[in-house]
A and B are shown apart, each in its own frame.
Chain A
Amino acid sequence: MPNLRYHISLAALTIALIVLAVLCLLIGSVDISAGAVWDIICGRGAENKAWEIIVLQSRVPTIITAALAGAALAVSGLLLQTTFNNPLAGPSILGVSSGAGLGVAVVMLAFGGVIGSNSMGVSIGSYVATLLGAVAGAGAVLGVLMAMATIVKSNTMLLIVGILISYLTSSIVSLLNSIASEEGVHSYVAWGFGSFSGVSVEQMPIFATLTILGLAASALMVKPLNALLLGTRYAQNLGVDTKRARNRLLLITGVLTAVVTAFCGPIGFLGLVVPHIARLALSTSNHIRLIPATILAGADTALLCSLLSVSGNHGIIPINAITPVIGIPIILYIIINRRRINYFN
């Protein structure tokens, strides 16, 4: 029975992924006919060279970026929820995204590095610097959270610590803004809206490699993740070195969140919400099934956001204006039905 539900859910999520990807190929701010898109994808070219560039250098990279970023954020959320034994944990709510954002801000505002712009000629060095800044920022926040988790045992308190970290980072960013160049501030503000279209064809290999490695590493952690469902003491009694397992999980989370944040901006809610969508769909807490479903559901949700972002009448809607609209109703539903949803009890 549980197996049937799993296979049906996985099939549905995969079909949704394909449908959403195709829609993202066809729909954009420039109208291109389906036949022309098909010709371009098949390598037959198109009479309009601009269309070729739009499809191959904008739409295709955006689809890949959205799918990978969504999967990465969703898996980060799942790992955080299990590591901290807290269903409301997620990279944005715990301040991990803001930490990565602070790292980005330091690089962008203080050193003028640029990432996430389609402009040609951006040196590899500057986006690697931004990336490292994000990893350092996310890592620092995860370190603080880890230390606080051993002091404050309450789940709610840890969430408050995460919110405090977000406030602190945004105030530091404001301070940095006051000393930064106008160009730096502009690119930082644009980055802050969140976008899946910021990864250029040249940047794609490094973005894809890092996220895929992170996702693969998380799939290798199913055994300790399942043991951690029972809490620290039981996990240790099942042979898991919980300290080492938690450190590895936070390292994976940090890299995934940092890479996505560096390239796409601080995207909220996906990491918090998608693991719940996967649990509700599959009705299981077992990570062997939850991780593949979370990866697919994360990619689906991000593609849906990306699709909605180009469906406006006047240009592109920022991703961060869409994710709360999708995310908050689901979180409220989960909080209200806490007693009824079986994975809480």
Chain B
Amino acid sequence: MSILSTHNLSVGFKNGGIVTTLLSQMNLTLEEGTLTALIGRNGAGKSTLLRAVSGSERPLGGSIIVNGKDLSRLPYSEVARMIALVSTERLMVGALTVREMVELGRQPHTGFMGRLDAKDREVVNRALASTRIMHMSEKMMSQLSDGERQKVMIARALAQETPVIILDEPTAFLDVANRIRTMQLLSQLAHEQGKAVLLSSHDISQTLRLADSLWLVTSDSRVECGTPAEILEHGAMDKVFAPGWHIRFNRQLMDYDYEE
């Protein structure tokens, strides 16, 4: 079932009255229980699209429907219970423990003073367990590596208990081992907990192998939606990434190779 869909969505930015449209006429869907990867070349507008879809920036036109409701008409408090965000910003909050950071994810569900009840603690424990960071729950954020921080932010998003999780380049600062682990974790969360996970990535071979669905930013400022196999079938990947380059996408291997 599709939990989030866009209708003639266009995104971009306004600067001093000048409107720059980056991506337009997008009719996309996110399905529950699937890992969707947004891929495209640098500067194509991936982050802008993610900001619009996560409700943190207004789109230029069109609409985004989450769980049957128009995203632009929802107050922050309601969006917070439907979409959790993991962004690329590096945080400056060293003096919170990992547990306190994950507990912040409960804010949309707690009362005025943010006090946690037994159920909230249970959810936090589950989030710590499924991201395998329970053992470091009393550590300070400042003591963690980039990879560990990323896991904490994913745990925080899980504690938010939203049907949709959106991540902007979750593997950007990670080494190969951590990239693979993070992607596998996200794919597991989608399949086992039925969440709709949307992430942007530059790691094409990883996403082709692990994503259930792709949003591909094409060269004519549109976004194509489909399974990795479908997208490769069209030859759309070659059009986006290959012109002028000696890269060839291979449908059988679900990967690409270089040509001399």
A positions within 8 Å CB-CB of B: 1-2, 85, 220, 222-223, 226-227, 229-231, 233-234, 236-241, 279, 283-286, 288, 341-345
Contact = CB atoms under 8 A, between A and B. Distances in A.
A223 B96 contact: no
Contacts of B107: 223, 226-227, 238-240
Contacts of A2: 97, 138
B226 interface: no
Task: Give the one of A1, A223, A233, A237 with max B CB within 10 A.
Answer: A237
Q: Please name the 5 residue pairs, one residue from A and one from B, whose CB atoms are nearest each other, closest first.
A: A239-B80, A343-B95, A342-B142, A223-B114, A239-B77
Interface stretch (B36-44, B85-93, B215-223, B230-238): B85-93
B76 A240 contact: yes
**What DSSP secondary structure best describes chain B's contact surface?**
loop
B95 A226 contact: no
B8 interface: no
Interface of B: 51, 54-56, 75-81, 83-85, 87, 89, 91-97, 100, 104-105, 107-108, 110, 112-114, 138, 140-143, 160
B89 A239 contact: no
Given A284-B100, A286-B96, 7 more contacts: A85-B92, A222-B113, A223-B110, A234-B89, A234-B91, A341-B94, A345-B92
Contacts of A344: 92, 94, 142
Task: Give the one of B55, B142, B160 with max A CB within 10 A.
Answer: B142
B47 to A, nearest CB: 11
A343 B84 contact: no
A237 B107 CA distance: 10
A234 B140 contact: no
B91 A231 contact: yes
A336 to B, nearest CB: 17
Task: Give the one of A1, A234, A288 with max B CB within 10 A.
Answer: A234
Contact of B94 (A85, A223, A342): A342
Contact of A238 (B54, B95, B104): B104
B96 A222 contact: no
A223 B93 contact: no
A241 B138 contact: no
Contact of A284 (B81, B85, B96, B104): B96
B91 A1 contact: no
